[in-house]
């Protein structure tokens, strides 16, 4: 799917052909429309409009009606969420259209893997769709032991577990990890052999090193900014190198490590420079690769990611 390109259609909207490809691939969570100040995502029968101005929201809403006529897709509900400048101003999506009595919890699928969402749980419903190709790579890698840091609702862990891995999911939020356990259950996975730890990643990684734990796949997808244990401030552009160094101490020979960020200060080139610098200081060789661009995302949109395969 990653090599399909969106033909000229309604500007910014995915084509009916691409929409049909998602349907055939049992993928019901994907981007529908992108512009600098607004984007539209599909989550099953629901649609979420993320906007920076009311005018942009209304523009996308009008465009969705025309796109729906062309593709034959009609939304059960339409939600919107404002995109603030500061994380502290983030709020849960609000219902624009549809039956308010329908539960805010729902389930979507991605290439047949199922994920639970909750539009009432906070700013994010529970699945970052720009990581679709990276989740597919996890499945292809079929790791034996995977460490999933900043795991949120454990979508990567689910894919790894379906491929036969034993997983350790770390996140500060116990509620997010509870939702992760639910994602395991939705996919018929037993929890035996899978650990869920609500703690600060920066505190846990040294403990894992002292215990001699090793992993053949490590995922590093930290937030741009957060507060950890004892009020410790995390800024990804300042600390991602230290995070990678700590993760390398837990990596088996020839392990794969995903380094990912949504920080606008870290473009693809700078992220690669930082990773190469850490590898050089640790005297480690590695192959660096990226997944092909997603067909429903314009170039440069979504998370910046880099795969590191140790030699």
Task: Give the residues across from 108 on adjacent strands.
Answer: 115
Which residue in 14, 220, 263, 306 is the catalytic one? 263
**Tokens 């606008």 correspond to what residue?**
264
Token pair in block for residue 195: 């650990």
Look up 154 and say whether it is catalytic. no
Residues assigned a catalytic role: 263
């Amino acid at each position: 799917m990653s090599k399909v390109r969106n033909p000229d259609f309604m500007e910014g909207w995915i084509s009916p052909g691409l929409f049909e490809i998602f349907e055939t691939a049992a993928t019901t969570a994907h981007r529908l429309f992108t512009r600098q100040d607004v984007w539209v995502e599909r989550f099953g029968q629901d649609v979420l409009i993320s906007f920076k101005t009311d005018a942009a929201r209304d523009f996308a809403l009008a465009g969705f009606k025309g796109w729906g006529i062309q593709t034959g897709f009609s939304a059960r509900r339409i939600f919107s969420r404002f995109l603030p400048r500061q994380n502290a101003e983030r709020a849960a999506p609000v219902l624009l259209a549809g039956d308010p009595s329908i539960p805010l919890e729902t389930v979507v699928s991605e290439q047949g893997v199922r994920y639970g969402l909750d539009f009432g749980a906070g700013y994010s419903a529970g699945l970052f769709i720009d990581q679709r190709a990276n989740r597919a790579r996890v499945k292809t890698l079929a790791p034996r032991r995977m460490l999933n840091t900043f795991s949120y609702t454990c979508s990567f862990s689910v894919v790894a577990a379906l491929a036969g891995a034993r997983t350790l999911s770390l996140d500060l939020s116990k509620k997010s990890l509870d939702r992760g356990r639910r994602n395991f259950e939705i996919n018929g996975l037993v929890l035996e052999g899978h650990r869920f730890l609500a703690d600060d990643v920066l505190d846990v990684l040294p403990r894992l090193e002292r215990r001699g734990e090793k992993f053949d796949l490590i995922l590093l997808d930290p937030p741009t900014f957060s507060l950890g244990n004892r009020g410790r401030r995390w800024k990804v552009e300042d600390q991602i190198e230290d995070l990678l160094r700590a993760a390398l101490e837990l990596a088996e020979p020839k392990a794969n490590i995903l380094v990912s960020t949504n920080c606008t200060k870290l473009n693809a080139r700078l992220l690669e420079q930082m990773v190469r610098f850490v590898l050089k200081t640790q005297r480690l060789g590695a192959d660096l690769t990226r997944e092909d661009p997603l067909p429903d995302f314009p170039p440069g949109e979504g998370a910046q990611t880099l795969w590191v395969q140790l030699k």
